Each structure stands twice: as C-alpha cells, then as structure tokens.
Chain A
C-alpha cells in the first residue's frame, strides 16, 4: 500500500519585487508587482509503508517545499498529494496525530527551558496517557542516550544533543510517517553518524515510513536504498542507489598500480580514457562492457603491472555530474 502518493505536484511561491529608491518604495506601498517563483514542478512519486527514502538535491532544489506540502504547512499550487489517505493541507487532527516533521534548521524545543518541558507539552498536545508517555520517553531517551540532559536548559546543549532531543520530541507520539528536513545540517561528523544510525535503526525496527532530505550525499547513501534526486524543482532520478550509478555512470574505474620505474602517459593512452594519472598509478574510465577485455589487455602487455582494481564510479562524482549537466535552464 502506498502511504504517500504525490501526483503532478507543483508549487509556486508568490513574492513581490523589491524596488530600490525612495520613489519606487513609496509607489510599492500602493501597487506592488506580484512575482512567482517556481519551487517544484509536476513532481510524481509514491512511497510505501516502512520505506526510508532519501531526497537529495542542492540548495534551492525544492526539498523543503515538498516536505512542507506533505506536512500541511503549504498549499500546493497544482497537483495532488495524499499521506495516509489524507490531504495534508486540510490539517485534520487525525492526520496530524500520525506524522511528525523535524526541520534541522528550525527547533521546536523551547530554548530557555529544559527539553523535558517540551516533552510534557507535546504529551498534552498529542493527548498521550501517562503510561504511554513514560514508556515512549524512556525508550527514546535510552536509544538516543539523552537521559542525563533532559533537565538541562536547551540553549546549553550542543547541536548534536539538541537534534537528538528534537527527534525524541517528534517521535513521542509514535508517528507512522516521519519527515526529516536536513536533520544532520551543521552537525559534526560524530553527531551526524549518531543521528544517521538512529534513524536507520528506528526505521528498521518500527517500520515507520521516513522521508529524509539532504544535500549531503553521505546521508543518503548510508541510509536509504531508494533515492529521489531533485534539482530545480524536478525529479531527475527515482530508484535504487545502485541503479543510479548504472544509469548515470555507464563506465567503471580501472585502477592499475605499476612498479619499477612506472609508465609514461603515451605508453598507456591506447587502453582507454585516462581519469587520473601518475607514473605509478593510473585510473581509466572504461565502458562497462569493455572493462574485462581492457583489464586482460593491460595484464598481458609488457607494462610493469603490480596490481589491478576494478571499481564502481564514485557516487559523488556521479551526482555532481547529474547536477551540472542539468544546470542549463
């Protein structure tokens, strides 16, 4: 069953052109030119129960906009979206009790109070019983290892600790669907890993459907099997991570190490496109179909081969290539 259904979803933001100069500003008080910024355009995808899907795209791609529509903050300009059978922007309480949104750049915890107060407040907002509350909070505090900081003023916590508390608050009512907008933004490497591990484990155990956005490839490649790549408001790719590499990188990398005095460039140019070169180590970009015969050809030549390695293309390179080839508007 599809938990999330999105069909031809489009959103244009309205804004007013800022005029410079006093005369123009005064005129703008009475008549302003309305402008539209296309944030997403005819986006389609479905997500099944228990999936963990990564939305990947550079800044301004439309990731936040999509999540805001799915959580009912924004009305779409066009198209359809359904989550758990509800139209998100109708903001039915039954729907709101079944999902949660966490934004890496926006906190819902009160900075002046300990996180515990925000937990209690959310308990009431979501109408949890004392028993449910205690059980869920204990579990979350254990897994996230935040027991000791629950009573510390939130502003005194580190970014990583804050994000853990944000996640815990959001998960207190056991949502069926979880939207995470750049949850690792600004965190150090260790904290990023902790958050990632938690999300992965939580999704595996609870079968909670998770949609996560990021502009870090690493977030997505570590967490999600399925990846949706967006740029300039359009979906460029929707599918398995390894499928992406096959589609956008029709080549593999052939890495050869030489010994003795190494090789000269002209000696090896005939084998294929050179990706990286130094005297002792050369990387070729070779068509998938030709990789074996090229490897054999190199091995059977009289070049001083020491070692030979066949690798998939670097995922970051692939993504970068996709984005840069799509930049032309």
Chain B
C-alpha cells in the first residue's frame, strides 16, 4: 500500500469507529445497566469465596486474597478482550444486510473489525471504571504487583487474546450461513468459552491434564493465563511460550475464517438468503 492509500484506509476506519462510538453512547443506559449487573455478579462471587474460605486457608494452592485478585484482575482483562461480534455477524447474514456490503468497496471483515473496536472501547472504558470502583472497594483484599516485565507480557497477551477472541466470534457468527438457529449455538459457545477461559473459577482447581490442555487451546489466554502471570503462579518463560501459542492460533484461525467465509459466501450466493 502507498502511504496515501494507507492514510485513506485508516481514515475510512477511524470514521467507522467514531460512528460506532456514537451509536454505543446512544445506548449508554443499556451499557450502564450491563455494567451494574456485572459488578453485582463479581461482588456475589467474592462473598461466596469468602464464605468457602472461612474454614480453610488454601484451596489448591490459592489463598483467599489470591482468589479475589483472580476474580477482579481476570474480569478486568476479560472485558478488554471480549466482543459481541457473533450476534452482529449472524444478524447481518440472516436479515440480508450483508448484501449491502457486498455491493460496496469495503471488505466486510474489515468493516466489522473496526465497528467492533469502536463498540468495545465504550464497553472497555465503562468496565474499567466499574472494575476500578470494585477494586477500590476491595483494595485491602487483593494483591497489588508492579513488575514491569510481567505487566508488559500481560499487555502483549491481552492484545493477542483480543484478536483471537475476535476471530473465534467471527467464526461463530458465520455459522448463520448454514443454519437459522444460531442463538442457541452462540449461547452454548459463549458458556464453553468462558469455562475454558477460566472465567467461572481458576482452571487449576481441575486436574492437571486439564490445565495442560487448556494451555494449548486459545481460550485460557483471555482470563486464566494472564491472571496466573499477574499472580506470579507461572513464570515469564511460560508466558512467552503462551504468546507463541497465541500467534500460532491467530494464523490458524485466520486460515479457517478465510475458508469458511468463502464457503459460506458461495452458499449465500446460491441460496440468496
């Protein structure tokens, strides 16, 4: 790409982000209501663990303080990497909005990427604010660590996890090319993803085999692995290895997305939807 082309390209998508921002802000009440729900969920979780820990010091190597940190930091990371892409993609396919994109000089996947980035940044900032409030509330109960290298590694992991999550969601959205009943599939998929990510509880509570498998899958990098890094339960070298695994997954997913998109589009062109 020529530099001027790249500039136009970027501008095209910055406009998109801006538009999405405005869209999200028109729904600020909905966004706000979601945050309140999430905050309550986290508080309930913290009280639950506190009750469980009342008659024991350690559960599978976790102290109560570590558990609370796991929940709070993990959720902070998770809201930064999640997206609502599957619903958008499947809706566009099902109601035929996709057709409009096929007639315009813009790639649908690029359009979606920037649209979601815009949407996420609203949710992200709102979530950061709400997370900060809870963290402040439990400040004396969590572990605060400022290891520069470790934080850098976590940042890299978050960015890669964002891309991975995005590709997985996009892929799930593309299922709409083949079936009308995507809602159930999406709900199940998102629960499974949260489970494999360690979003319900630390994966270390499960058998070791399971933890090993989850290191090889892309999901744990959105919650469990970066939080383990933060807690110092895994070393930097394991973290670096994790980043390599993430990169491999991104390439793999890109390949799958490309193939599935091509196949789906062919179907779309034949069926008309």
Answer yes or no: A127 CB below 8 A from chain B CBs.
Answer: yes
Nearest opposing residue in chain A for B270, CB measure: A14
Is A13 touching B104 in the complex (CB atoms < 8 A)?
no
Interface string of A107-134 (1 = CB under 8 A from B): 0101011000100110111110000000
Minimum CB–CB distance for A162 against chain B, Å: 15
Indicate whether A124 sits within 8 Å of B16 (C-beta atoms), given known contacts A73-B269, A113-B23, A117-B22: yes
Is A72 touching B102 in the complex (CB atoms < 8 A)?
yes
With beta carbons under 8 angstroms apart, the residue of B11, B26, B102 that contacts A73 is B102
Interface string of B6-17 (1 = CB under 8 A from A): 001001110110
Minimum CB–CB distance for A64 against chain B, Å: 9
Interface string of A271-290 (1 = CB under 8 A from B): 00000000000000000000
Is B103 touching A71 in the complex (CB atoms < 8 A)?
yes
- How many residue pairs link A and B with beta carbons under 8 A? The number is 70
Answer yes or no: A45 CB below 8 A from chain B CBs.
Answer: no
Answer yes or no: B99 CB below 8 A from chain A CBs.
Answer: yes
Interface string of B89-129 (1 = CB under 8 A from A): 00000001101101111100000000000000000000000
Residues of A within 8 A of B104 (CB): 96, 125-126
In the bound complex, how far is the Cα of B23 from the Cα of A112, in angstroms? Answer: 7
> Is the contact region of chain A dominated by helix, strand, or loop, or is it mixed?
mixed
> Is the contact region of chain B dominated by helix, strand, or loop, or is it mixed?
helix
Indicate whether A106 sits within 8 Å of B15 (C-beta atoms), given known contacts A73-B102, A96-B103, A112-B26: no
Residues of B within 8 A of A106 (CB): 96-97, 99-100
Interface string of A58-99 (1 = CB under 8 A from B): 000000010010011111000000000000010101001101
* A-contacting residues, B38-55, CB 8 Å: none
Is B97 touching A13 in the complex (CB atoms < 8 A)?
no
Is B271 touching A125 in the complex (CB atoms < 8 A)?
no
With beta carbons under 8 angstroms apart, the residue of B16, B100, B105, B270 that contacts A93 is B105
Residues of B within 8 A of A101 (CB): 100, 103
Residues of B within 8 A of A100 (CB): 103
Interface string of B218-262 (1 = CB under 8 A from A): 000000000000000000000000000000000000000000000
Interface string of B172-184 (1 = CB under 8 A from A): 0000000000000
In the bound complex, how far is the Cα of B168 from the Cα of A128, in angstroms? Answer: 34
Indicate whether A125 sits within 8 Å of B106 (C-beta atoms), given known contacts A73-B99, A106-B99, A120-B15: yes
Nearest opposing residue in chain A for B272, CB measure: A13
Residues of A within 8 A of B96 (CB): 106
In the bound complex, how far is the Cα of B272 from the Cα of A74, in angstroms? Answer: 7
Indicate whether A68 sits within 8 Å of B272 (C-beta atoms), given known contacts A73-B99, A96-B105: yes
Is B12 touching A125 in the complex (CB atoms < 8 A)?
yes
Nearest opposing residue in chain B for A125, CB measure: B106
Answer yes or no: B65 CB below 8 A from chain A CBs.
Answer: no
- Which residues of A come within 8 Å of B, CB atoms? 13-15, 39, 65, 68, 71-75, 89, 91, 93, 96-97, 99-101, 106, 108, 110, 112-113, 117, 120-121, 123-127, 153
